[in-house]
Chains A and B, each alone.
Chain A
Amino acid sequence: MVSAVFHSSVDAAPAAATQTPKPLHRPATEATVETRSNMTVKPAAPRTPRDFSGLWLAILPPVLGLALLVVIWSLIASTGNSGIPKPMETWQQAVEVFSDPFYSNGPNDQGIGWNVLQSLQRVGIGFGLAALVGIPAGFAIGRFEFLSRMFNPLISLLRPVSPLAWLPIGLLVFKGANPAAIWTIFICSIWPMVINTAVGVQRVPQDYMNVARVLNLSEWKIFTRILFPAVLPYLLTGVRLAVGTAWLVIVAAEMLTGGVGIGFWVWDEWNNLNVSSIIIAIFVIGIVGLLLEFALIKLASLFTYDEVKA
């Protein structure tokens, strides 16, 4: 009878919204007392107070935030001639779109799954090449003062350029939409990796370098045992920024180059005046970006040593 009351937090969440302050004793405590029969039964009330307050804070605010978004969205959609579809219409459209994400009716009509994968592939290639060039370049620039002075003006000059300004150069040189998009990704995601790696190398504590000098370590040992692990957190920050930028840029680049890809899909749906698809695409782009970011943060936290100081 008591059993299934307050064990699943998912059920608990909406209940809390209605009856806000939670009293300490609740049926669940009785259940726990029953199972541990050998313990004293008297002070039943305050024992094992499973603290839900943390859970409320973790779930309630984000849910409210999303709800606020939906409310504003509905208000805008329902006022006159904005042309924005209502949340419910968009949801129905989304169910339809996601019911078959991997269909393919020729090059210009493919499921959203294919479009996302195509975009991810471009980002992967462009970003991979950028990492291949940018990370070693960052190490070199960080390690040698001469190189740093040589390349800093170049980086300062090229870094603020909008990625899309590079697109025509790519089209000119590579004579194709796909390589041009990859080129754009490459050129805009290389800077954060170069800069962060170089800064990381320059900030390796002098103490560690003194250890290397006293031990007379070879350049290779210095790199593998000291420089690389010390720089890794900086490097991963650079990678994270680069992936974020790449994902931002791909949508714009694909709008211009066409083909298959989430950016192109957005543009195509706009031409069909299919606004709810565009809103779906916005969510998809956001969620994929979020997942990329989350994966890289997880990766970075594996390699961060907080105890470096003292």
Chain B
Amino acid sequence: MNTFAMTTKYIDIQGVEQTFKTKKGLFPALREINLTVAKGEFVALIGHSGCGKSTLLNLIAGLTTPTQGVLLCADKEIAGPGPERAVVFQNHSLLPWLTCFENIYLAVERVFGGKENKAQLKARTNDALAMVGLTAAAQKRPGEISGGMKQRVGIARALSMEPKVLLMDEPFGALDALTRAKLQDELLDIVAKTHATVVMVTHDVDEAVLLSDKIVMMTNGPAATIGEVLSVELPRPRNRVALADDAQYQKYRKAVIDFLYTRQAHVEKVA
């Protein structure tokens, strides 16, 4: 349905269907998912809760395998999770017994440990911390820093692996609005610097429009699928203040809101 003629198909999802076995029988979570993501593209998955957007992300991460269909990344089938598709988890998932430095070092060591020496690995870890502005917190444990800082360490850990794809599962969902805005701006900078390919799950319309090149809007579950794909052609670098009364921005915003609350609004009645 949405075969955009992108120059490169970096992630290619073909006819993916996901069914879960539950106590009440089979639960169809996703059906007929066809999606391509180009290299360096920022894609947001948006939809009401329970629409299977996290399920789709987990499929791309390789944490689960689809019941039907194929997922390709760089022309290779996604057979399992791996460091080339780094995940920023919703609740940061830092190991509480390791310092921020050690949490990142664990990832760096795994990816580059084979070819680089200790000093290089440490330099990489410090670079990752510096990128998210947390050099000062390197020796702190996750329990000693704020929620926003933890999420930044999570992002630094993911980026430190130099992944081909960065997968983010509502990375800022648990944060207050101000911290969220700050981290979104940081993420914009980082993505501009690293040209990362990003797939991000969100339920925040502004976040989706501000950050992405492409917004994938999903229909309500069960058996959710892609309802519509919106190309966001706002010039980069983007500035949230300037965009606030930009007509184009408002148009995109309206389109997403219209999809979520007019055409896919029945979720409240179900619940």
A190 to chain B, nearest CB (A): 27
Q: Which of B86-100 contact A (CB under 8 A)?
A: 86-87, 89, 91, 93, 95-98
- CB-CB under 8 A from A216, the residues of chain B are 81-83, 110
Assess whether B87 is in contact with A208, with CB atoms less than 8 Å apart: no
Q: Whose C-beta in chain A lies nearest to the C-beta of B158?
A: A214
Nearest opposing residue in chain B for A307, CB measure:
B143
A2 within 8 A of B: no
Contact B63–A310 (Cβ < 8 Å): no
A211 interface residue per 8 A CB criterion:
yes
Contacting pair A215 B141 (CB below 8 A): no
Given A221-B110, A307-B141, answer yes or no on A210-B87 (Cβ-Cβ < 8 Å): yes
Question: Which of A217, A226, A307, A310 has the most B CB atoms < 10 Å from its CB?
Answer: A307
Asked if A225 and B98 make an inter-chain contact with CB atoms under 8 angstroms apart, the answer reads: yes
Q: A221 to B141, alpha carbons, bound, how many Å?
A: 19
Looking at chain A, what size class is its interface with the partner chain? 10 to 19
**Is A229 touching B95 in the complex (CB atoms < 8 A)?**
yes
Query: Does B190 sit at the interface, judged by CB under 8 A?
Result: no
Q: Once A and B bind, how many residue pairs between them come within 8 Å at the CB atom? A: 59
Does A219 lie at the interface of the complex (its beta carbon under 8 Å from any beta carbon of B)?
A: no
Q: Does A203 contact B (CB under 8 A)?
A: no
Our pick among A207, A226, A229, A305 for the contact of B91 (Cβ within 8 Å) is A207
Closest to B147 in A: A310
Interface residues of B (CB under 8 A from A): 61, 63, 80-83, 85-87, 89, 91, 93, 95-98, 106-107, 110-111, 141-144, 147, 161, 174
Q: 19 interchain pairs (CB within 8 A)?
A: A210-B81, A210-B89, A213-B81, A214-B63, A214-B82, A214-B83, A215-B106, A215-B107, A215-B161, A216-B110, A217-B106, A217-B110, A225-B95, A226-B95, A229-B97, A305-B96, A307-B144, A310-B91, A310-B174
> CB within 8 Å of B: which residues of A?
207-208, 210-211, 213-217, 221, 225-226, 229-230, 305-308, 310
